Amino acid sequence: MVSQQVLTKSRLGIEENSKEIVMVVCDGVSSADAAMLANEVAKKTVREGKRRALIYVVSPLGRPEYFEVVKSVIQENIGLSMSIRYSGSKPKDLLELISRLGNPDVVIAGLCGDFIQALDNAGYENMVFIHSKRGGDK
């Protein structure tokens, strides 16, 4: 009988000693916003003297839409080793993720009012907002 391996949410060996960043990607992310997001990832990673980033993506958008933003982050940071993990689509998923990770940096791109409200309600302050036209969004 062949035993089945149980997949866990543990880190892979290559992900050890990585800068953990939670990226929330919503509607309205322009190419300029994606460039600022890529810069923010690089800045946060290098500031800690690391060459690896472990990015958790939370997005209510479908894969083609949010992955365009993630692709820009990867292309602009080709010198970093990056692991990308999709981690949900709802504010509840975001809150569970940051609870599990401790106090990760959260970078919010686009019109993410529900996610921002959930973080505000939880008293979370370790956030950076990237959006060129904030309008009614924070």
Distance CA 2, CA 81 (A): 34
- 70: domain CATH number? 3.40.50.620
Specify which residues 52 forms β-bridges with: 81
Q: How many domains does the chain have?
A: 1
Residues 6+ apart with CB under 8 A from 133: 28
| pTM attached to this predicted model | 0.84
59 occurs within a structural domain: yes
What does the pLDDT read at residue 75? Answer: 93
* CB-CB contact of 78 with 43 (8 Å): no
Q: What is the pLDDT of residues 10-51, one digit of tens each?
A: 656 667 789 999 999 999 999 999 999 999 999 999 999 999
Specify the DSSP class assigned to residue 102: S
Specify the DSSP class assigned to residue 90: S
135 occurs within a structural domain: no
The range of the structural domain enclosing residue 38 comes to: 14-130
96 occurs within a structural domain: yes
25 occurs within a structural domain: yes
